[in-house]
Amino acid sequence: MAVSTPVTPHSLSNNVTSLYEARSLCLRPGQVVPQQSDHLWHIELGLVRTLTWNEEGDLVTLGLWGAGDSVGRLLSEVAPFQMECLSAVEVKPLPLAGQDLGVVMRSHLRYMEELFSIISYKRAPQRLLRFLDWLGDRFGRQVDQGRILDLGLTHQLLAEITGITRVTATRLLNEFEREGKLLRLPKQQMLLQFNSGHPDRVTSMARHRARGKRNT
C-alpha cells in the first residue's frame, strides 16, 4: 500500500512559493507592485514609478522603469518606498540567485542621478523640456519625424515628477507645441521633434512645419 507524504507547513510554503515565482503578475494602472524581500521584479511590459513621500504627503519620484528594467525593495534604502504602476504592467519574479545585483544597482543609480540632475534645473521650461528629452531617450520610439512617447503620462503626472503645477505643465506643453518642439497625438501619445540631447534644437522637418503654420 502506498504511503502518502504528509503535507507540512514547510513543504506547503515551498510549493506556494514555487508556484508564485513561476507566474507573471499583471497589474492595472494605479496598483502597487508588491514588495518582496527575496527577489526583484523584472518588468516585461509597462511603466513603473518608484517613489517616496515626506511627512506632509508630498510625493518624490525616485525613478521611472520600463520593459527590461528590474525593480524591488532590495534596491532602495529609502523609507517609505513604493512601486506604482503608471500603466498596465506585467512583471515576473527575478530570484537573486545568479543575478549580479551590483549591475542592477549601478543601472538604477545612473538613471536616478540623471533624473535628479534634470529636476535640479531652476527654470520650469528648461526642466520640463529636459525631462521630455530624457523620456524620449529612455522610452521613446524613433521615427523619421522624431521620437514617439507612448507612455500615457498625464499633465498632472508630468507636473508631479518635475515639481511644477499642472497649470504650468499644460501651458508649457502648449508653448512647446507652438514652437514646433513636440506634437501631441491621440491616446496621450507625444511626438518629440527636437534633437536628442539638444531640446532647444528642433528637427528640420519640425522647423519647416512650424514655419508653414506661421505663414498661413
User: Is 169 exposed, middle or buried, given 0-12, 13-18 or 19+ CB atoms closer than 10 A?
Assistant: buried
Q: What is the mean pLDDT of the chain?
A: 84
Whether the per-residue pLDDT at 191 is higher than 50: the answer is yes
* 149-180 per-position pLDDT tens digit: 999 999 999 999 999 999 999 999 999 999 99
What's the maximum distance between 2 C-alpha atoms anywhere in the chain?
Answer: 92
Mean of the pLDDT values across residues 51-73? 94
* Neighbour-count burial for 33-70, b at 16+ CB within 10 Å, e otherwise: beeeeebbbbbeebbbbbbeeeeeeeeebbbbbbeebb
Whether the per-residue pLDDT at 20 is higher than 80: the answer is no
* 121-142 per-position pLDDT tens digit: 999 999 999 999 999 999 999 9
**How far apart are alpha carbons 216 and 210 in whole angstroms?**
10
CB 121 within 8 Å of CB 130: yes
- Phi/psi of residue 204, nearest 5 degrees: -60, -35
Global confidence as pTM:
0.79
Q: Which domains does the chain possess?
A: 25-120 (2.60.120.10), 123-216 (1.10.10.10)
Cell numbers at residue 202, please?
Answer: 528642433
> Which band of pLDDT confidence, cut at 50, 70 and 90, is reported for residue 118?
very high
Share of the chain above pLDDT 70, in %: 79
